[in-house]
A and B are shown apart, each in its own frame.
Chain A
Amino acid sequence: MSNQASQKSSLPRWVWFALVFAAIAVIPMLVGGSAYWKSILISVVLNIMLAMSLNLILGYTGQLHLGHSGFFGVGAYATTLLIQKAGFNFWIAMVASSMMAGVIGILLAFFATRLKGHYLAIASMAFAVILHQILLNWDSMTSGPLGIYGIAPPPAMTIFGKLIKFNNQVNLFYLVSIFAVLVYIFLDNILRSPIGETLRAVREDEVSAASLGINTKLWKIFSFGVGAAIAGLAGSFYPSFVGTLVPDSFAVVESFTYLAMVIVGGMGTMIGPVIGAIVLTLLPEVLRDIGDARLLVYGITLTLVILFMPGGIVQGFKSLINKKTSTTSSSN
């Protein structure tokens, strides 16, 4: 098996997932009654999904994508509008808007197939700006900058005979967490398969990837499509979580926050974006005394990490572990 598997811990995967499930079950109790902190938890999970999906495109496929906020916005608005204006059921709206976001991702991928590096970075930003502008200006659909009010949470479900309502922050947290875990497993399995090898090849050297029979255009489209769909999926939970949906939540600068999460956590690893999302969502809250320090924290950590520890927190952990164990690691 490839080295990435052998680098992981000696615990089998199912043990990890059992631990994660236990943690998810317990965490809401740790924050007690604070509604504020419960909503932060939901933010963390949504950010995890956004960071993971961006990492698929940026970390594994090597596409310089700075427009992820657009896909998130498409998911959020599509879900809300499908429910409010077309009377869709929440779950169907969720799937539909996820697919719509995926299609938009494929559109952006067409730029990616023709552009590289800086050009793609700017094109993806322009893309995000355009999406943001559409949300702002298409008054008849989106109510423009004023936003859409009074968004209902996902409809209550009956599980094992119990009625579970989602106007409850804790239940919403559990719901979103389950999706996040499913997405993690999905991405992890795909990336451990030959698909992961293919994407890495596209990232490392497109020309030699082509010499191995890889259709780089197709795989970029795959990467953007799946990444965008996941962002759209996260987006469909966002409106019910915030209650009011405004376009400015999806301004281009938000793309940079997801970028920061991926990089600070560790680009190109599965756990990196998760760590980055957790750290960068919680850190500004912990430092709340300094004022609205959220973006400042992102700016500082992003700059420092990319300059001095480009592999992020994951890289930091690995060097710590390597220093402690005296055996020489053969490779990474």
Chain B
Amino acid sequence: MSNNILEVKGLCKYFGGVKAVDGIDLQIPKNTIQAIIGPNGAGKSTTLNLLSGTYFPTHGSIQFEGKDVTSLSLHQRVHLGVARTFQKIRLFKQLSVLDNVIAGFHIHHHIPLWEYIIPGKAFKKDRLDCQQEALDLLKFVGLEHRAYDRAGSLAYGQQRLLEIARALATRPKLFMLDEPAAGLNDTEVQFLMDRLISLKNKGITIVVVEHNMKLVMNVADQIFVMDHGEYLFDGKPSEIQSNPKVIAAYLGAEIEVAHE
């Protein structure tokens, strides 16, 4: 029984003539934090889209917990325990903060069909449980005091955290984040790093696409480096820093590499 939650072989995504991702192999062990980095245009986000099922690959296969999920779409993978956040914030801005999180319980309701039309005991219990669990999730990201505010009224950093809370409502085993630190200040990044480690300690596997090197170096167990849609290098944070190939790939792009 493999210890990998995700196994990827020969993953390719071509858009017409453009090879956004070209032949990626990847193994992600359970209960670790994996970072995918690379200069702009390396294909990191596309890879995340492929891993989550937002895009379908042109070639290649993806196995989740030993099951072939290559042809499953995003919403189908969520049922298996995959969750993701997006580079561009996609909250339900007109709904309240709490309602955003509650929406994430979609796959976890236990209400008999007729109670949707005529509410009964199971319905009420479900509503209370969802509300409580949603508040707990908001507490986890530090937003419980804004629960009844309109999601659109939150500050940018808080919206990012809300997205995370909402995705966590699906109770994922594998959680993928697309540039979660983008636009966050140092305090917020620190909090985010802390939360990611906390999630790992709860048994969740995390995949993070990131440009913020401080976050990546401090939090990742393993780093996967991409360039031009292809695999460049992978290894522990200490191995990445001094690798000449990685440094060469990043020349020309301005990245701050923070040391531990």
**A-side interface residues toward B, CB under 8 Å?**
1-3, 186, 189-190, 192-195, 197-198, 200-201, 204-205, 207-216, 330-332
Contact of A205 among B52, B92, B96, B148 (CB under 8 A): B92
Contacts of B117 in A (CB 8 A): 186, 189-190
Instruction: For the complex formed, measure the closest distance between the CB of B235 and the CB atoms of chain A, giving whole angstroms.
Output: 30
- Asked if B107 contacts A201 (CB within 8 A), the reply is no
Binding site for A on B (CB under 8 A): 52, 54, 73-76, 78-79, 83-86, 90-96, 98-99, 102-107, 109, 111, 115-119, 123, 126-127, 130-131, 148-150, 153, 166-167, 169-170
> CB distance B106 to A189 under 8 Å?
no
Structural contact, B170 and A194, CB atoms closer than 8 A: no
Residues in B whose Cβ lies below 8 Å from that of A200: 92, 95, 103
- The distance from the CB of A227 to the nearest CB of chain B, in whole angstroms, is 16
Q: Which of B109, B118, B150 contacts A332 (CB 8 A)?
A: B150
In the complex, A204 Cα to B117 Cα: how many Å?
24
Cβ B96 vs Cβ A198 within 8 A: no
Total CB contacts across the A-B interface at under 8 A: 104
- CB pair B96 A207 closer than 8 Å: no
How far is A13 from B111 in the complex, measured between Cα atoms in Å?
22
Q: How far is the CA of A216 from the CA of B119 in the complex (A)?
A: 24
**Residue among A3, A200, A212, A215 facing the most chain B CB atoms (10 A cut-off):** A212
- Return the chain B residue nearest A268 by Cβ: B94
Interface residue SS majority, chain A: helix
Known contacts A197-B106, A201-B103, A204-B93, A210 near B116 by CB under 8 Å: no
Out of B78, B104, B118, which one reaches A189, CB within 8 Å? Answer: B118
* Given the contacts A204-B95, A207-B86, A197 and B74 also touching, CB distance less than 8 Å: no
**CB-defined contacts of B116 to chain A, threshold 8 Å:** 189-190, 193-195
Asked if A212 and B106 sit within 8 Å, CB to CB, the answer is yes
Asked if residues A208 and B98 are in contact (CB atoms below 8 Å), the reply is: no
Q: Are A1 and B131 in contact (CB under 8 A)?
A: yes
Q: Which residues of A contact B109 (CB under 8 A)?
A: 194
- Cβ-defined partner of A2 (8 Å) among B102, B119, B123: B102
> For residue A215, which residues in chain B have a CB less than 8 angstroms away from its CB?
75-76
Chain A residues near B111 (CB-CB < 8 A)? 193-194
Bound-state CA distance A214–B167 (Å) is: 12
B96 neighbours in A (Cβ, 8 Å): 2-3, 331
The 11 listed contacts between A and B (C-beta, < 8 Å) are: A2-B99, A192-B119, A194-B130, A207-B54, A208-B90, A209-B75, A210-B73, A211-B54, A212-B167, A212-B170, A213-B107
